[in-house]
Structure 1
Amino acid sequence: MKIANRQNMPTDRLLSILFLLPSIILIAIFVYGFIGWSGYVSLSNWNSITKDLSFVGLKNYIYLFDHFRFQADLRNTFFFTVFFIGTVMIIGQLLAILIDQNIKGESLFRNIFFFPMSLSFIVTGVVWQWLLNPTTGVNLFLQKFGIQPMWYVDTTIIPAWNWGHIEFGIPVAIIALVIAATWQMTGFALAMYLAGLRAIPDEVREAARIDGATEFQLYRKVIFPLLAPVTVSVIIIMAHISLKIFDLVYAMTGSGANFVTDVPGIFMFETTFRGNYYASGSAISVIMLLSVAIFIVPYLIKNRRGDMS
């Protein structure tokens, strides 16, 4: 029997390879092939309707990093990513801790918090565009107290200092985008943290309480360290979303006045498909890919090493 099984192993391996081969070919062509093509075009002079693949090196990249709009995009993406990840983590943790207390109507609260995840970013953008419109939505209520924020049409940068061709600081209009994105994705962080909390044995909590730990010390010194892998996963996934975000911003605010809500995704779309600057658009897409890879690749390498050990 053992000899027969060994003889069947090459056949089983060959069948497995043949079964996966169509997917491997499609991924190689339509994922990695197109990534390679975008990288090649980004090094060319194809910035018009007429195809021109003559090599120009890093000219398109140098042009982008010296461009006012792209510098504004980098600023906006940085602050959006920081605030988005921070608020999603904090609110997701707090909600998970509250639901973990075995409160009444737990399933109802879970469904309420998970509901925004079922919507697309386009729908979220349209809804929050109305809610945070300076003349409608929540401002109709805030006007009664003499408050009327401009939300996503505010062009204020705080604090502002010169950096390249732009004013570097926090664009106030970004706060509206952070609110909308946080509303949609907090449910994901809640689910991750709640699963992490439920995976911690009760014996660990009881042992800490017996040793005299208060509830605050229990969470700070025991539970939060045990949730570190969950936190890393949330950061990676939220960073992946924020660095390549397009649909939410496009539906809610667009580029905004003075590009205060512009992001590389919108700049790439308009540069490539409206301006016909294919090389510059490809360069933006490559930069976006590399920025996401900075977060994703180390995470994947670490997980692979953990699986192999």
Structure 2
Amino acid sequence: MAQNVQTSTGSPLTGLPPALAKRKRPWTWERAYPILTILPSFIAIAVFVYGFIAWTGWISLTHWNSLVPNMSFAGLKNYAMLFGEYRFQADLRNLLFFTILFIFLCLVIGLLLAILVDRKIRAEGLFRNIFIFPMALSFIVTGVVWQWLLSPRSGINLILKAFGWNPSQLPGWYTSTKIIPSIHWGQIQFGIPVALIAVVIAAVWQMSGFAMALYLAGLRAIPEEIHEAARVDGASEWKAFWKVTFPQLRPMTATTIIILAHISMKIFDLIYAMTGPGAAFVTDMPSLNMFNTTFQGNHYAEGAAIAIFMLIALAIVIVPYLISSLRKEGD
């Protein structure tokens, strides 16, 4: 009888404090339904994403470099061989300069387009759609189109030839093997491959509209009162933009850089459709190298090592940004 008496500190049924008694709620369908809903996706991600990442990491540490599986442990041998190869060194050079040029030009062009569209020009919606339209295309389509436009025998070169350009001096675009400046580094010449500029043009054409959309959203979110206060203080248009408007766009800039860096580091379809590895690997990328090494050369361990390198490179860029975002949300 005494056990059923409710006290001020305990439940009448369990004798536990109210907080603990409330925590031990019965398992009901309402509680189970959300968990059961996300459980298949959780299992699929655990197996087909993180499970395969772990499997790829293990393959990269084995001797499996033929059609016959060889799962004996090789340590970091594949990684050492990888960084000593001419092609992979060229990939690192190309990836570095492609990423820098691609992100910089997309940011600059995207910001300029956003500023122009934000001026409330006539047919704003039309221009906005024209600038964003390339994003609707796949990189395969972009690569095929720009391959024709920048071909030495068609496209832009035909226009230059019609204007009297000497045929022997027409630019080779993505067929050029020149590197500017040419500095000896390891087994390769370190510099910007001229052929890579053609690929950058195609990539910037497709993704600068994305940067414009983000910057335009940022500009439209800035209260007009801030601009008015800057004008009242006597700030010129350029000074008001640089001191007032541009700092407000830093979150948009950071987001754009992260997304564009992610795209550039795993770029494959544009290179595959437009140029391939190129002569002397002047337009090659780690993703294309990984594809050729794994599925055409049957060097599975080396291909896995390239894939893990790409994953680590992406993590170096993305993880600090995610940590910073979580800290800001926590504050």
Give the shorter-chain TM-score range: over 0.9
Q: CA deviation at 1:308?
A: 1.9
Q: How many aligned residue pairs are there? A: 308
Distance across 1 between alignment mates of 2:255 and 2:171: 34
Counterparts in 2 of 1:48 and 1:226: CA distance versus 1, 3 Å: same
Cross-structure match for 2:205: 183
Q: CA deviation at 1:14?
A: 3.5
Q: Is 1:133 equivalent to 2:155 in the alignment?
A: no
Distance across 1 between alignment mates of 2:59 and 2:111: 43
Cross-structure match for 2:128: 110
Cross-structure match for 1:288: 310
The root-mean-square deviation of aligned C-alpha atoms, in Å, is: 1.7
1:296 partner SS: helix
Distance across 2 between alignment mates of 1:10 and 1:151: 67
2:214 partner SS: helix
Cross-structure match for 2:237: 215
- Name whichever of 8-17 and 177-186 sits farther off: 8-17
TM normalised by structure 1 equals 0.96
2:121 partner SS: coil
Q: CA deviation at 1:7?
A: 7.4
Distance across 2 between alignment mates of 1:114 and 1:145: 34
Q: CA deviation at 1:253?
A: 0.2
Distance across 1 between alignment mates of 2:317 and 2:27: 38
2:64 partner SS: coil
Cross-structure match for 2:86: 68
Q: Aligned AA for 2:156?
A: V
Distance across 2 between alignment mates of 1:131 and 1:7: 68
Cross-structure match for 1:171: 193
2:182 partner SS: strand
Counterparts in 2 of 1:210 and 1:291: CA distance versus 1, 3 Å: same
Q: Is 1:154 equivalent to 2:172 in the alignment?
A: no
Distance across 2 between alignment mates of 1:161 and 1:117: 36
Distance across 2 between alignment mates of 1:73 and 1:115: 30
Q: Aligned AA for 2:309?
A: I
- Name whichever of 37-46 and 11-20 sits farther off: 11-20
Counterparts in 2 of 1:10 and 1:100: CA distance versus 1, 3 Å: farther
Residue of 16, 21, 25 corresponding to 2:34: 16
- Name whichever of 199-208 and 134-143 sits farther off: 134-143
Distance across 1 between alignment mates of 2:79 and 2:152: 37
Cross-structure match for 2:11: none
Q: Aligned AA for 2:90?
A: A
Cα deviation, 1:23-66, whole Å, max 9, x if unaligned, reads 10000000000000000000000000000010010000000100
Cross-structure match for 1:265: 287
Cross-structure match for 2:6: none
Counterparts in 2 of 1:15 and 1:129: CA distance versus 1, 3 Å: same
Q: CA deviation at 1:249?
A: 0.3
Q: CA deviation at 1:305?
A: 1.6
Cross-structure match for 1:233: 255
Q: Is 1:31 equivalent to 2:49 in the alignment?
A: yes
Counterparts in 2 of 1:151 and 1:9: CA distance versus 1, 3 Å: farther
1:173 partner SS: helix
TM normalised by structure 2 equals 0.90
